[in-house]
Amino acid sequence: MSKKESGASARAGEVVIAVNTPSRSYDVHVGAGVLERVGAIARDAAGGERACVITETNVGPLYADAVEASLEAAGYKTSVLTFPAGEQHKCLATLETLLEGLAEAGLTRDDVVVALGGGVTGDMGGLAAAMYLRGIQVVQVPTSLLAMVDSSVGGKVAVDLAHGKNLCGFFWQPSAVVADVRCLASIEPSLMRDSVGEVVKHAVLADPELLAELSREPFTFADCPEEKLVRIVAENVRIKRDVVDADERERGLRQTLNLGHTIGHGIEAASEFTLGHGSSVAAGLCCMARASLAKGWCKPSVYEAILAAVEAQGLPTDTRLPHDAVFDYMAHDKKRHGDSMNIVVPAELGAVEVRRVGLPELRELVELGCGTGKEA
């Protein structure tokens, strides 16, 4: 399989998806073994003399040498900055250390950061690049499923504050994204399953065929042919690309990517983050679909199709957490507008609606959708 979708050079087994946002155009390279091309891709897309790889303590030992070798083969002088793995390190203190590290490595405005890792690393590397010298280029090299299908594309980069997740950041589009599906071999099966929550979300948003496929069998790394991994990651990137091309700054259409997230964030926080993000999104998606069915906003067939896919992926379809706790966290979501919030309703398969609801109606949706499924 070889599919070229942009002007960039693609190799056999690689899909290249062009992203065109108002602030930057770039290619997302999805393939098996594409990690060895990071240097050549960075050279074409970003140029520069120096490349600094930003990674963390779990991913660095696995892939940093290969990425550095590829960058050196493409003529870069390289350095590597490694920070401690874990969401708790996605903070201003780590950012400061990374910025000092970029200065120490002598990167100039023409040089490039290579963010190698999962979602936390994409945020840290992207935000460091956005701030250093008022902005240098970044190549995103996602190694987790969540980062490949979601966070590496679209330019959202942030750190957490004591008051909440992702409260301090920028839109900073990468110069290229390189997603090597072979890196998924190093992902824990439970984390892989969790991340499929975002894949189900994309399928509900824009791809009923993918949703039907997801309801037939679990999407795991084990026994999954590389071609299928590439196809599914690339399809998710296309779905996200179509949204961010149309609305880079989340003024309209990009809000639809929050499908499942309003109740999902409430569930994730009320579980004290013991439930993974993707699992929380999956449960939030089902709860919102159940509430939408009760309100007459979607048909039973839509609800059933969503439930079937989430169930087949071994993800939660409901929550037993107390409504008060879930609602309290939802009501403090950073996406709240005054006393109301935009929610995303799965109106049809492949077509969602954004509705503005007041806090009492939001509470009603929690009552209707959470803990009321047969499986709760």
Which residues of this protein are in contact with ligand GLY, per CB under 6 A? 150, 154, 156, 254, 257
Closest to ligand GLY by CB, 151 or 215: 151
Helix spans in 112-188 (H): 119-131, 145-146
Measured CA to CA, the distance from residue 376 to residue 371 in angstroms comes to: 5
* Min CB(187)–ligand GLY separation in Å: 19
* Residue ranges of E strands in the chain: 3-4, 14-20, 25-31, 50-56, 77-83, 112-117, 137-142, 156-161, 164-171, 176-180, 340-348, 351-358
Task: Count Cβ atoms below 10 Å from residue 106 Cβ, excluding itself.
Answer: 12
Closest to ligand GLY by CB, 111 or 198: 198
Q: Which two tokens stand for residue 89?
A: 């390190």
Q: Which residue is nearest to ligand GLY (CB)?
A: 257
Measured CA to CA, the distance from residue 203 to residue 235 in angstroms comes to: 9
* Min CB(236)–ligand GLY separation in Å: 11
Strand partners, 140: 115, 177
Closest to ligand GLY by CB, 169 or 371: 169
* Min CB(93)–ligand GLY separation in Å: 24
Q: Is 213 helix (H, G, I), strand (E, B) or coil?
A: helix
Closest to ligand GLY by CB, 64 or 138: 138
Phi, psi (5° rounding) for residue 66?
-65, -40
* Min CB(198)–ligand GLY separation in Å: 8
Measured CA to CA, the distance from residue 217 to residue 215 in angstroms comes to: 6
Q: Which two tokens stand for residue 56?
A: 């963390």
Closest to ligand GLY by CB, 39 or 126: 126
Closest to ligand GLY by CB, 14 or 198: 198
* Min CB(113)–ligand GLY separation in Å: 19
* Min CB(150)–ligand GLY separation in Å: 5
